[in-house]
Structure 1
Amino acid sequence: MNNSELGRVQAFLLKHRIAETKAARRNISREEREVATILRDADPQMRTLLEEILDGQGLVLQSFREFDVAGIPAGAMTFVLARKPDTNPPFFGTERLISRMKQLGRYKVSDTEIKIWFTQLWFVLLDLLYTKKNRSPGAMQDWVDTAFNRLVFTDAVKNYINDSVLKMDPASLKTTAIYDALTSTKEGTITQLCSAFLEIMQDASLLERLEEDVYRQSLLFAFEMKMNYDRQLVPLLPALLPFDAASAVLIEEVEEVAHGNNH
């Protein structure tokens, strides 16, 4: 890998965040295959240089072979570009999110309300991928078994609103911003929001589309979750009942955000 190839690889990874020499369940472009091959065959010095450049931008380049994790075809190599915990790489912002969700017909709301919806949809997705499957956030091997369809996700979101949010007493909340955003949206718009969310997750390489309306967690998504879990949550959890402890930590964090204490 020469300097020109290094620049090409970096540009591709910043845009797509994943490069595979061969994939089991999706078609890969010639460019992706070439970029992954350049990385695979790069001499250690150039590979280290690229990793140092990306590290300075808040990113981690991680490679996987068939023996490292499930889902990698024999003889293949997969590279993912993950965000480091507690960093905010300038390349990944909220503009795409806000722009896409504002394209939903008559759904005219503020940027803040869109971010509220995105956060709540993210929590429901995590619930489907981890809680419902009794998976630890530190688990990676079973990422290939996380398939779900669009209808299941949409129903989970609507059930969350009906079974949890609507049963809250608004008078007991310090702020009703989240409650108002979730309860004032019509059912048809919720379906559109869910579809847009899944589309954005696929564009970000966090979800893979297996077939029409069927998705699963990507290896990149699983790796980022594991990094965040290992570096941020594990030190806070007691040895016993890690799932209960993790839930308590997350609830406290969400309450702080909702109450405006976490900036």
Structure 2
Amino acid sequence: MRNLLAEILDGQGLQLRQWGDTEVPGIPVGATVFALLRKPDSTTPFFGLEKLLTRMRKGSIKTDAEAKIWFVQIWFVHLDLIYTSKNRAPAEMLKYVDAIFEREILIESVRAYVNDLVRKLDPDSISNNVIYKTLTDTSDGTIKLAVIGFLELLTEAGLLSTTDEDVYRQTLLSAAEMKLNFDRQLAPLMPSSDVAQASFTLLIQEEE
């Protein structure tokens, strides 16, 4: 029966995994955790596009394109917090229990990314870049609202959990998916161990 279920899920772009308390830290003694991982070659979403757009359209973020841009940029900065800043590789799934950060830290990290990297680009050479314009036309207040919407989405999707008020931790599901994607697709493509810098590089490459 389980093999049949696994085959059905596989056809939907999902991989069924299970871990016991002796295999993965953070699992209660005697317990077993089951998870559905999205396969790297699938398009199975965690949440509908409309939900993403609704949650990310905050403050001065008005359009669908701006909402998508901000989600992706915050995603990169969030990865920097739970991987790069902790000297952790994407393949190190078991370290998810230490991937903890405060909401305010993510907000300040996003602000720093925009102010210290994006805004220092030569505006004359990149003025027509929609990503640059979206990021630099947004106020600090809107950045906070966008980060809150981002955290709500990832928490509801099971990619983050809350350990305390405004304190978040990566989930086993998120760590397992990152490892699966990295092992199969991302490792040869990683341009840098610094995820935020890699995001910045992608922004510049939009002009090439």
Please indicate, yes or no, whether the TM-score normalized by the shorter chain is above 0.5.
yes
Pick 1 or 2: higher relative contact order, CA cutoff 8 A, min separation 6: 2
- Is residue 197 from structure 1 mapped to residue 145 from structure 2 by the alignment? no
Do the aligned partners of residues 244 and 111 (structure 1) sit closer, same or farther apart at CA in structure 2, a change above 3 Å counting? closer
Partner of 1:209: 162
Does residue 187 in structure 1 map to residue 155 in structure 2?
no
CA separation in 1, counterparts of 2:60 and 2:127? 26
What is residue 218 of structure 1 aligned with on the other side? 171
Name the counterpart of 2:44: 89
Pair 128,74 (structure 1): closer, same or farther in 2 beyond 3 Å: same
1:74 is aligned, of 24, 29, 41, to: 29
Give the match for residue 91 of structure 2. 138
List gaps (5 residues or longer) in structure 1.
1-45
Cα drift, residue 196 of structure 1? 1.0
Structure 1 residue 131: Cα displacement: 0.5
2:68 alignment counterpart: 115
Structure 2, unpaired ranges of 5+ = none
8 Å Cα contact 1:147/1:215 also seen in 2: yes
Equivalent residue for 1:63?
18
Shift of 1:172: 2.6
- Percent identity over paired residues: 48
Aligned equivalents of 1:86, 1:175: Cα separation in 2: 33
Higher Cα radius of gyration: 1
Shift of 1:61: 1.1
- Contact 2:47–2:157, Cα closer than 8 Å, also in 1: no
Superposition misfits of 4+ residues, deviation over 4 angstroms: 242-247, 250-253
Q: 1:183 to 1:147 in 2, by over 3 A?
A: same
**What amino acid is aligned across from residue 10 of structure 2 in structure 1?**
D
The CA RMSD over aligned residues, in Å, is 2.5
Question: Residue type matched to 2:37 in 1?
Answer: A
Asked whether the equivalents of residues 117 and 200 of structure 2 are also in contact (C-alpha less than 8 Å), the reply is no
Which residue of structure 1 lines up, in the alignment, with residue 115 of structure 2? 162
Deviation of the 1:246 alpha carbon? 8.5
Distance change >3 Å, CA 137–CA 154, structure 1 → 2: same
Measure, in 2, the Cα distance between the counterparts of 1:70 and 1:91.
Answer: 24
CA distance in 2 between counterparts of 1:252 and 1:183 reads: 13
1:144-180 alpha-carbon deviations (Å, 9 max, x no partner): 0111111111000001111001001133338411111
Aligned to 1:8: none
Q: Which amino acid aligns with 2:86?
A: K
1:53 corresponds to: 8
Counterpart CA distance in 1 for 2:186 and 2:194 is 7
Q: Which amino acid aligns with 1:78?
A: V
Residues 208 and 60 (structure 1), Cα distance of their counterparts in 2 relative to 1, 3 Å cut? same
Paired positions, count:
206
Distance in 1, Cα, partners of 2:194 & 2:65:
27
